[in-house]
C-alpha cells in the first residue's frame, strides 16, 4: 500500500502496486473500469449491464453478493459503494484478506473526484479521456427558470429521492430542485397527497421501471420519464448525461 491509498470513507486500503484483477460490486463502477481497461475486471454483479459485451464471472447482486465466489476469483481489489453495498458483506470481504475500495459521492464534483481516485489509485490506471469529457460537460451552470420536482424511485410503496443524494445534485445542476431535499431520510416513503408544492415529477426507469404508462398517471403535474442510468450512475455515462437528461426534462 502506498501513502494516500484511502477510499471515499477515509479507510486505508492495501492496494498492491500492480493491479491485474478487479471485481466490481456496482454497475456504474463496472462500466467505468471496463471502459477504461478492458480485461481488468474478472467479476461483476448480475446487475452490471454495461458494457453490453462484458464477459466476466457473475457474483449475484449488489445487496447479496456471493462472498465466497468473490474471494475465489482472487481479485487484487474489490470496487464497492457505500450506498449500493451492505457493510456486512464488505466486512466479510475485508476479513477474507481482500482490498475493498468503497466510493461514496453525493455530488457531481465528488463523483468525478471519486472516479479519478478509483481508477488511478485503486486500479493503478492512467486517467481516462472520458473522465475529462464528463468534467467538461458539467462545468457550465444551468440555464432557464428553475423547477421544483419530486423524484420517485419506487412504487408500491411509493419512495422518492430525499436528502444528500447524487441524483438530487445532478438535477439541481440542470435547474430542477428536489422538493424533498430537506427530508430527514435519503429515500423516504411518500404519500402523494402530502407532497410539498411541485411543478414536475421526474421518473427514472430504474431502480423501478417507470414509463409513460406506469407512473405519470398518479400525479397531477407534468411528468418527465428519464434514463435512470444517466440520472443515477456515475461513470462514462456522465459524459452524455447532461445532454440526455436536458432533452428528456424539456
190 vs 175: CA distance, rounded Å: 23
pLDDT confidence of residue 52: 93
pLDDT tops 90 at residue 1: no
DSSP 211: B
- Calculate mean pLDDT across residues 183-201: 97
pLDDT band at 84 (very low <50, low <70, confident <90, very high): very high
Starting from the edge strand earliest in sequence, which strands make up the sheet with 41-44, in order? Answer: 57-58, 41-44, 22-24, 77-81, 100-103
Report residue 103's pLDDT band, with 50, 70 and 90 as the boundaries. Answer: very high
| Least confident range of 40-49, 104-113, 143-152 | 143-152
For the segment 189-195, the average pLDDT, to the nearest whole number, is 97
- pLDDT of 140 over the 90 cut: no
C-alpha 224/C-alpha 205 separation (Å) is 11
Domains parsed from the chain with CATH numbers: 22-127 (3.40.50.1980), 147-249 (3.40.50.1980)
What pLDDT is recorded for position 4? Answer: 55
Residue 142 pLDDT class (50, 70, 90 cuts)? confident
Q: What average pLDDT does the segment 5-16 reach?
A: 96
* Mean pLDDT within 69-96: 98
The mean pLDDT of the chain is: 96
**% of the chain beyond a pLDDT of 90:** 96
**Per-residue model confidence (pLDDT) at position 188:** 98
* pLDDT at residue 3, rounded to an integer: 46
Tens of pLDDT, residues 11-36? 999 999 999 999 999 999 999 999 99
What are the pLDDT digits (tens) for 211-225? Answer: 999 999 999 999 999
- What is the model's pLDDT at position 143? 77
**pLDDT for 18:** 96
CA angle 60, 75, 134 (to 5 degrees): 80
Out of 75-89, 103-117, 138-152, 177-191, pick the least confident.
138-152
Distance, in Å, from the CA atom of 240 to the CA atom of 237, rounded to the nearest integer, reads 6
Half-sphere exposure of residue 17: CA atoms within 13 angstroms, side-chain side: 1
Amino acid at each position: 500500500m502506498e501513502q494516500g491509498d484511502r477510499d471515499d470513507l477515509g479507510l486505508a486500503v492495501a492496494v498492491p502496486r500492480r493491479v491485474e484483477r478487479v471485481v466490481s460490486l456496482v454497475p456504474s463502477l463496472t462500466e467505468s473500469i471496463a471502459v477504461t481497461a478492458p480485461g481488468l475486471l474478472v467479476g461483476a454483479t448480475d446487475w452490471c449491464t454495461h458494457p453490453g459485451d462484458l464477459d466476466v464471472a457473475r457474483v449475484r447482486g449488489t445487496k447479496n453478493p456471493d462472498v465466497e465466489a468473490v474471494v475465489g476469483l482472487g481479485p487484487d481489489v474489490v470496487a464497492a459503494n457505500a450506498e449500493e453495498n451492505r457493510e456486512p458483506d464488505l466486512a466479510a470481504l475485508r476479513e477474507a484478506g481482500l482490498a475493498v475500495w468503497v466510493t461514496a459521492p453525493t455530488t457531481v464534483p465528488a463523483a468525478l473526484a471519486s472516479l479519478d481516485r478509483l481508477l488511478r489509485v485503486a486500479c493503478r490506471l492512467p486517467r481516462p479521456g472520458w473522465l475529462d469529457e464528463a468534467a467538461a460537460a458539467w462545468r457550465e451552470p444551468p440555464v432557464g427558470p428553475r423547477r421544483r420536482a419530486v423524484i420517485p424511485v419506487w412504487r408500491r410503496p411509493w419512495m422518492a429521492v430525499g436528502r444528500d443524494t447524487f441524483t438530487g445534485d445532478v438535477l439541481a445542476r440542470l435547474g430542477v430542485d428536489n422538493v424533498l431535499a430537506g427530508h430527514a431520510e435519503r429515500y423516504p416513503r411518500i404519500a402523494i397527497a402530502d407532497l410539498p408544492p411541485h411543478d414536475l415529477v421526474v421518473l427514472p426507469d430504474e431502480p423501478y421501471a417507470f414509463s409513460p404508462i406506469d407512473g405519470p398517471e398518479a400525479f397531477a403535474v407534468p411528468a418527465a420519464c428519464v434514463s435512470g442510468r444517466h440520472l443515477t450512475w456515475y461513470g462514462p455515462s456522465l459524459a452524455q448525461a447532461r445532454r440526455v437528461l436536458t432533452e428528456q426534462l424539456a
